[in-house]
Chain A
Amino acid sequence: MRRRDLLRWTALAAVLPAWSGRASTAMRPAPATGASRCLVLVELKGGNDGLNTLVPFTDPEYYRLRPRLAIARDRVLSLDDRTGLHPALRALMPAWEAGELAWVQGVGYAEPNRSHFRSMDIWETASDRDEVLETGALPDAVILGGDEGPARGGGLQVITLRTPEQFAGDAARLKALEQPVEPTAALAHILAVRASTRQAGVEFQRSLEAMGEAPAAFPQTAPGRQLREVARMLLAGMQIPVFKVRIGSFDTHHNQAARHERLLTQLAEALAVFRETLERAGLWDRVLVMSYSEFGRRVAENASLGTDHGTAAPHLVLGGRVKGGLYGDPPDLTALDGGDLRYTTDFRRLYSTVAVNWWGMANPEWQERFPVMGWV
């Protein structure tokens, strides 16, 4: 297999052939084997500080490098004898105790790039650093909270919306158009978005009748509102393989403590209600929540009570079928690379695991390069 092909296979778009090319609408009418399973991506925009999320509370280096920002040992929610959660993540503890929450430690990629923008490209297209791919990593997705992100690029059926009702109503007002002979790329893009909007609008309209209010009260926060809409669509039986929500900004260069705490609280509380809602509806086994962020932050705090762009970070995986626990090795705080963590888990192993273990799409050559993990 040529290198380029290998790279293509590492993008989720390529490992979901059943969805990415064949069907023309964002809805999947026939739930085949894995098709009714969905992935909910949570973008932690801005670069989440991993060390203050999953805290190495017995590591003297952590407290030495973060004299003012470290989370005190007695505030940490212990997961094992040396690792614990930021106290703001308390709402996730029931999921942890139920064995439905996994943390993958030291997630990153080789030769990190500190640019938010280039780093997001790497994550979202699963490309190697020296190669910018045109197509995003996710096919046929519903985006809440704006910004297609991973779904950027041509050819993918992506719906960005605020609420399903508003979307269906507006889409129904689009008139049908003929296709011009030689559209410019810009016009082709507009027409493609228009066409998928009209098609999806029809499907949404159909599903709206089955859709009620979400039974539980979601918090009135950005992640709460977005996850509420995802829950409602799932409860209505809509077969959408990928959802993306967004929370941020985690770009905490200054006065990190209060903001980071607020964001993590919002995240945990929204995810907790999401879990309860889907569990009650019997859908929790079909949902996999996974976080991502462009990079972690530097190990040492800066002079502005914040942290700067760094490298590796832990990411969470949550769902009814998740095998809870800590996965991957925590980066060694005594073996830094110019003040940065050395990553221990290539982020593409997360995609690989989702593709193979969650959606049942095996690809031996590609699995050899990015071995699947055991969390699902």
Chain B
Amino acid sequence: MLELFTLGEGHYDEADVQAAARALSGWTLDPASGTARFDPRRHDDGVKVFRGRSGHWGLDGILAILLEQPRTAEFVVEKLWVELISPQPDPAQVSRLAGVFREGGYAIRPVLRELLSSDAFWAEAHRGTLIKSPVELIVGTLRRFDLPAPPDRQLVQLGRQMGQDLLDPPDVKGWRGHMAWIDTDRLLLREQFLRRVTRDLADESARAGRDWAVLDPAVTAGLLWSASEGASLSAPSDETTGEAGLRAGLVEAILDPRYQLK
């Protein structure tokens, strides 16, 4: 609770861990219903000192103290930052956004709105600095290009193979994300998926007479990697004009390693 979800490592000590453990005593999991249950007979109601505050703390008391600590809001904002903006949170901006988060009673929507409309989010320097998660890659690609989705079961299996087994992170810390999404095995699976998808894209569009106007070259480039300057990393395609050219350009763009970024 302290290390991974509120304060972060280095912002509490072993005495806090022990005080919190005593405060949480009496809480058990009811395996049948999967819900938490409180048994007062098994609760240690003595005085505990947690983060320098003394009292007969129980679960609510500990949570109240944690939510008062500025560090808790900062910790959550940092997580949002490294998921949405860049690998290196800006402490001044984190502190400002954490203030919004805390003052909004820890509602996610206001802080997310603030974060997504911040200069940092739109800054050119932060484009392409993060790596898409398997879910972003799989679901994002299928939705963005309106592709026929394989059965859900296959999508879940794909995510699992790429390292993101939905609802089952590797441990309580969750997925490491970012660079950890890419190792040789996972990169191969991602590229394999994208090759298959681009084949589908070509086939499906040929059949359905898709409206390729939405995919004019400028829009395509903007959609895919506005961070990149210059040409595609892969060999230039022969097809350069008309719908076929657009389609070839799109396929090339999706297969470009920069498509793996966000």
Contacts and interface: CB of A to CB of B under 8 A. Distances in A.
B262 to A, nearest CB: 9
A190 B230 contact: no
A118 B4 CA distance: 12
Contact of B188 (A170, A177, A180): A170
B26 interface: no
Given A170-B192, A194-B187, A187 B87 contact: no
A186 B163 contact: no
Question: For chain A, which range describes its interface: under 10, 10 to 19, 20 to 34, or 35 or more residues?
Answer: 35 or more
Nearest to A190: B257
B185 interface: yes
A180 B260 CA distance: 15
Interface string A174-194: 110110110011110111011
A189 B179 contact: yes
B260 A200 contact: no
Contacts of B255: 175
A207 B182 CA distance: 25
Given A115-B9, A189-B179, A175 B130 contact: no
The residue in B128, B171, B183 that gathers the most chain A C-beta atoms within 10 A of its C-beta is B183
A374 interface: no
A191 B257 contact: yes
Interface in A147-206: 147-148, 152, 158-162, 167, 170-171, 173-175, 177-178, 180-181, 184-187, 189-191, 193-194, 196-197, 200
Nearest to B178: A186
Contacts of A193: 182-184, 187
Nearest to B125: A184
Nearest to B10: A118
A146 interface: yes
A160 B258 contact: no
A251 to B, nearest CB: 8
Contacts of A186: 87, 128-131, 178-179, 261
Contacts of A90: none
A85 interface: no
Contact of A147 (B170, B187, B228, B258): B170
Interface in B146-205: 163, 170-171, 173, 178-180, 182-189, 191-192, 195
Interface of A: 114-118, 143, 146-148, 152, 158-162, 167, 170-171, 173-175, 177-178, 180-181, 184-187, 189-191, 193-194, 196-197, 200, 249, 251
5 contacts: A117-B9, A177-B257, A187-B258, A193-B182, A251-B171
